[in-house]
Structure 1
Amino acid sequence: MALLLWILAVILVVSGIVSLIRGQMLWGIVLIIVGLLVGPGGVSLFT
């Protein structure tokens, strides 16, 4: 379960960075924040 959450978090953060590069500031910031919450926060929350 923890591995799946980390993979999801990495995908979200990378998508957020790509969105920032494309000029979609708000969407990119939201994706990065959600990715950080799912990654370290989600792993500690579910384990």
Structure 2
Amino acid sequence: MISYAGRTVKVEIRPGLESYNGSSRNGVNSENYSGWSGSFVFVR
């Protein structure tokens, strides 16, 4: 867990993927991306 702006956030470390799909949410657009050795997710 990490702390950010006075709040505690749980992060889960995961293995990387061969590729990542871009997305469009909340007015933010991301591009497709090639493989990476590691990734993470925010856990509720």
TM-score range, shorter chain: under 0.3
Structure with more relative contact order (C-alpha pairs < 8 Å, separation 6 or more)? 1
Question: Which one has a bigger Cα radius of gyration?
Answer: 2
- TM normalised by structure 1 equals 0.22
- TM normalised by structure 2 equals 0.22
Q: Is the helix fraction higher in 1 or 2? A: 1
Q: Is the strand fraction higher in 1 or 2? A: 2
